Amino acid sequence: MAYNLYLRAPGERRRVPRGLDGVIHLDEAGVPGYPLHHNLGQILVSSRPPAEAPEAFLLAALGVWAADKFIPRKLATDAWTREIVLHLPTTAPWVPLVPRLAQSLNFLTGDEWTLKPREVRVDLGFTGPWPHPGLPGAVCLLSGGLDSLTGAIDRLEEGQRLILVSHYDFGQLAATQQALAAALAAHYGPDSFHHLALRVQFPETREFTLRSRSLLYLALGLMVAGAFTADLPLIVPENGWISLNPPLTLSRLGTYSTRTTHPYFLEELAGLWREAGIATPLLNPYHHLTKGEMLARCRNPGLLKKLYPLTSSCARPEVGRWQGQSTGACGYCYPCLIRRVALHRLGWDEGSDYRRDVLSAPEILGHRVQGSDLRALLLGLKTWEASPQEMAARLFLAGPATGLPDHWTAARGVLNAGFQEVAQFFQDKGPGWIKGYAGWS
């Protein structure tokens, strides 16, 4: 069953077709449908007027993100892969590129997307002034996670003036991002960067896997970078292990984790941007490093050690509140597990930092939901130890091989180094029941 959604551009007066499952708009008063609440008006405007192509891409990303949140995966035939038809307002350069964008979205979210473009004038009403003398050297994403903190520290240690772009849709995440920005400002000085905290909220959220959220991050960063020089780089700091998204089991061929910085997706997206007339360089300086390697090479390890407790890597930080418990990192999701693996490399891992310490909760291994990522990680480790070649081959089974052959040696190196980190963590800290599941006893 296909779900038909219609994204209305701000100020658009076109008649909406019949038979839709929903109309999404950018919080316009008096407009029927489902609103996206936002503060995007504060996106920076320098001496250049907002560029049309990045603005249209941001509008598309907003529609994709809302559709991703609106349609529950449990209604799909396989309880995951949805058929989504999005009627998309866009500009002339993007119209012929929309089919390729849909293919990229299929890879990103694990769904089947159909985008139906219509040409409109796009004006999202940006008015934010640039408050600093001189121009920034780069735009860097600051999600509130450990990777983004490391990326910001490394760039600031180089003496670059940055724009740190954050996106939040709930209060705890905003507080995390603000705390990190305040701590960085206290260390490097308030003029070393400009923190842009952008709120986009969709009250009609019915799905929480949100594979498209990081696409919205990229679009926001692109829009900010586009307000300055055409070649101002957009830096996406994410470790290469998460970027590769190695399929841990054959039943999890990548769709259960983010793919936004996967080599295929980044190369495809950068190609689309170029064809739309966007020159902004899209860079991930850490694509060849595991999370542990990324942290170990931080240019200010003392500051990282001081600030890392402020970060959150959890995929489910709000689950505790929904269950009537404390909020904070769950401890059992895949990002929490990989965070612990990386911090262990530096001697900083503490199970008490999480709502559940998986190393002291043997019952979690049999829990259908809470134990699923731990089981998958241990099974993936088992497969890698038995046959590194099979695990490497799964990188191609997970999606288009485009983007991997040119980086095959580096990708295989990251894969092996990542599993070595995982093995070291469980060998050093794993109790007997975990080692037994991993086949070590």
pLDDT at 128: 86
**Two structure tokens written together for 318:** 């709000």
User: Does the pLDDT at position 88 exceed 60?
Assistant: yes
Residue 267 CA to residue 70 CA, distance in Å, equals 28
* Contact status, residue 144 vs residue 308, Cβ threshold 8 Å: no
pLDDT at 57: 98
Residue-wise over 58-96: b if at least 16 C-beta within 10 A, else e? bbbbbbbbbbbbbbebeebeeeeebebbbbbbbbeebee
Q: What pLDDT, in 10s, does the model give residues 126-136? A: 888 888 888 99
Which pTM value belongs to this model?
Answer: 0.94
- Measured on CA atoms in the order 307, 313, 318, 321, is the torsion positive or negative? negative
* Contact status, residue 354 vs residue 329, Cβ threshold 8 Å: yes
Q: Across all residues in the chain, what is the average pLDDT?
A: 92
Q: What pLDDT, in 10s, does the model give residues 98-137? A: 999 999 999 999 999 999 999 999 999 888 888 888 899 9
pLDDT at 256: 52
* Contact status, residue 87 vs residue 116, Cβ threshold 8 Å: yes
Residue 66 CA to residue 89 CA, distance in Å, equals 14
Q: Which domains does the chain have, with CATH numbers?
A: 2-119 (no CATH), 128-283 (3.40.50.620), 313-437 (no CATH)
Q: What pLDDT, in 10s, does the model give residues 311-365? A: 999 987 766 555 555 668 999 999 999 999 999 999 999 999 999 999 999 999 9
The identity of residue 406, as a single letter, is: D
